Chains A and B, each alone.
Chain A
Amino acid sequence: MELEKASARLAPRSPWQAVDLGTKLYRQWAAPVLWVWLAFTLVPFGLMLGWSLLAETLWPLFLFWWLKPLWERPVLAWYSHALFAETLTLKQLFQRWRQYALPGLASQLTWRRFSPARSFNTCVWQLEGAKGEQLSQRLRALNSYPSNRAGIMTIVVLHLEQFMAMGLMVLLYTLVPWQFSLEWSDWFYDQGALQMAIASATLYLVMCVTEPLYVACGFALYLNKRTWLEGWDLQLGLTRLGRHRASRTGSTLLMLLALLLPLPEPVTAQPSPRNNEEQQQVIELLAGPDYMPFEERTERQWKDRDDDSDSWLEKFWKHFFDNLDDDEQQEPSDSPFDIPDAVLWILFWGVFAGLAIWLLIKVMDQLGLGSRNRDSTPVIPTHVAGMDIRRQSLPKNLRDATEQALGANDIRLALSLMLRSALAELLRRYPVALAAGSTEQQCLRNLQAAHGEPLPILYLQRLIQAWISTAWAHRPVDAETVRTLLADWEQISAEEAANA
């Protein structure tokens, strides 16, 4: 591998920058890579689709999907050569197929088929050709910390593939003329040959885009990991520097090696001014962004408990848990939180049990099993037919208030007061479910439906009739009728109170 020929800059990158490089590789070579993909997959796909349609089964298409690691091999082979300025023809790819396609394929198609790092590990099998224990060691080394994020990249591309396939399928369904009676919903439960063909073709079309992209990203991650581990960038830098200096002194490389070697003492106590200058250049070169990419990183780590903390809360918890931990080793202390163990235990388990019960009640309420849900007693409304029937809104002495309204010849107000009082009292005695929009007649109907027709409800019926005649028909009842209704109400209230 001649690193100097690499058409991409080999520098240590973060995994996401490496994936970015992969997408750039794909964009640069999208057309030739698509040809490679089509050359190796179009015929197998066509055969399997035909088989699938004839046999009316999805198994051949599943087989095509399962063989994805095999279809990815030629694409990777093409990328790996193209990066180092060698363009393989389709003929060469077919000729070398056995060399690059078979290493590690058996494991990739069986127990490693669902490996999330497939695109990364394929590079190891295919490009390095390692086997046995050596291969395992290579994989361990390349997959060592820090993570290369190949798994996450696989998940992202997988989603991309599914969403693109779904989107394309929906688009196709919308374009199918209605005479075909092809409903999108049918796809889920009634797949005819046409549906199957559409679904398979869309998935294949999407794979034409996602598979070369996936391979390119995996390859870029692989290059990046090797750059970090094997210092490819350093190697390239030194090579370039060596060539540059060779014509002048040929001593720079020696100086670099001397610097890089961990010598306990300098060889020369007083270097010459020229040597100093070169040494400074090398240091600057190595300190440059190509070789020492500094990056800020924030990490969270567990730290030991700070025993010297002055926080009273921390002291309390420390004391609390210490007490819970060791009953027998307890020693007398002068702590301000010197609480007996039993109290702490009760406190701890009390809070725990309380939380558990609260959580249980909430869950049962959510599931509709709670006692609150079983309680069928309706909530007494505060307003009926727009009338405020809360106790505080009602007059303390109904008779006085009614007489006052009658004195002012306001029959409507007098009846309104009586109706509000009667409703407030009756709904407390005979609860029913009512809404803000319930009319007075609805209220009456609900009361009759729920509680039949006891005397107070019959009275309410008379009162509502008088109210409707006055309020809505503009035919106010006379004052005597109001007084009779009032007297009847007082009598009913007295009887109800006596019975209670």
Chain B
Amino acid sequence: MTQPTTLADATRLAQDIEHHLNQVLIGQRQVVREVLIALVSGGHVLIEGVPGLGKTLLVRSLGKALELDFNRIQFTPDLMPTDVTGHAMYDQKSEQFRIRRGPAFTQLLLADEINRAPAKTQAALLEVMQERQITIEGKAFTLNEPYMVLATQNPLDQEGTYPLPEAELDRFLFKVLIDYPDHADETRLVNMVLDGTIRASLDVESLTPVTDAAGLKAMKTLSDGVLIDDEVLDYALRIVRATRDFSGLSHGASPRASIALARASRVQALFEGRDFVTPDDVQQVARPVLRHRIQLSADAEIEGQTPETALGRLLEQVEAPKQ
């Protein structure tokens, strides 16, 4: 399996993965790019979009293209934390306790409709996401690298949902908005299904693996070497800090967001084939890094603003780096 050794190789590989995923998930180039950046950055992603836009397909394709284990949990109000992480059960045969590993023991975990489960179950993912380990009966199990949680939530059907707590939201590197494909892409998708080019069930069996966990690890290592100038880093920090006292926002992003923005900017530069970060790279990833970490003030909500419009204004106002 291909393993990049130079930055150019890493860029080629990243673009190759991107190309493969775009063949399956039609009309969602931005989503694919953002999910891949998060994966290479070692972060988790919260995907928000209405049903039927290919969220599950994306994760399955990702698992197939990168030869990663994939598990899916449908979050429901009666889901218990042990249903996610696993638990110890008594084996009558051996007269000993045996650990039953939950679906969180994987590499790509799709937490579908995460906000349907109560806070206790959502919190079960905190340790998994932050420490990349699961503790059962006092024993910590380290998870395989790479490890990524892709949680989804539906923005429309809010009845009987439990909003994610700030602490958990902060642990997602990106919040990715998945929207309907444009007319041309949707036409292409329908035609491909009708032609039999792809099956209506949109299975990913035809997808060939592009790289594996080792390849991803190499990409991550190479992205760590991408240069970020002091002025550009300062720009990233100024953007995050501006969220804390920006009109229309009741609370801003934490220092974890600053780290996330810098890391994601590096990977974005790598995807663009550069070994240095430009202010444009920072701007490109600022929205997915920040949109779930800010909270609109009451008056801004009444005025009909959204986190997107507020971030748009903020990015316009924070001066780009000086010479």
Instruction: List chain A positions with a Cβ less than 8 A from chain B.
Output: 383-387, 412-413, 416, 419, 435-442, 468, 471-474
Contact = CB atoms under 8 A, between A and B. Distances in A.
A440 B227 CA distance: 19
Interface string B297-323: 000000000000000000111111111
Interface stretch (B1-9, B87-95, B120-128, B275-283): B275-283
A435 to B, nearest CB: 4
B274 A436 contact: no
Q: Chain B interface residue count: which class?
A: 20 to 34
Given A386-B322, A387-B323, A473 B274 contact: yes
B253 interface: no
A385 B317 contact: no
Given A437-B318, A437-B319, A385 B227 contact: no
Contact of A437 (B275, B276, B317, B322): B317
A468 to B, nearest CB: 6
A296 B103 CA distance: 84
Contacts of B322: 385-387
Contacts of B231: 471-472
Contacts of A437: 283, 315-320
Contact of A439 (B227, B276, B280): B280
A290 B280 CA distance: 83
B232 interface: yes
Given A385-B320, A472-B277, 4 more contacts: A435-B316, A437-B318, A471-B323, A472-B227
Contacts, number: 64
A473 B318 CA distance: 22
B275 A385 contact: no
Nearest to A181: B159
A438 B318 CA distance: 9
B276 A474 contact: yes
B232 A472 contact: yes
6 contacts: A384-B320, A436-B316, A437-B319, A441-B280, A471-B229, A471-B231
Contacts of A439: 278-280, 283, 320
B227 A436 contact: no
Given A386-B321, A412-B323, A416-B323, A472 B278 contact: yes
A221 to B, nearest CB: 41
Given A471-B231, A473-B275, A474-B227, A442 B280 contact: yes
A461 to B, nearest CB: 14
Given A437-B315, A473-B274, A474-B276, A386 B229 contact: no
Interface string B262-277: 0000000000001111
Contact of B319 (A386, A440, A472): A386
Contacts of A383: 319
A440 B274 contact: no
B1 to A, nearest CB: 31
A287 B71 CA distance: 96
A130 B88 CA distance: 92
Nearest to A441: B280
A296 to B, nearest CB: 44
A416 B283 CA distance: 21
Identify which of B274, B277, B323 gathers the most chain A CB atoms within 10 Å of its CB: B323
B43 to A, nearest CB: 23
B285 to A, nearest CB: 14
A468 B274 CA distance: 11
Nearest to B275: A473
Identify which of A387, A472, A473, A474 gathers the most chain B CB atoms within 10 Å of its CB: A472
A472 B229 contact: yes
A386 B276 CA distance: 19
A477 B227 CA distance: 17
A473 B323 CA distance: 13
B82 to A, nearest CB: 28
B315 to A, nearest CB: 5
Contacts of B229: 471-472, 474
A474 B278 CA distance: 11
B319 A441 contact: no
A436 B323 contact: no
Interface in B213-233: 227, 229, 231-232
Contacts of A441: 278-280
A412 B278 CA distance: 15
Given A439-B280, A472-B229, A386 B323 contact: yes
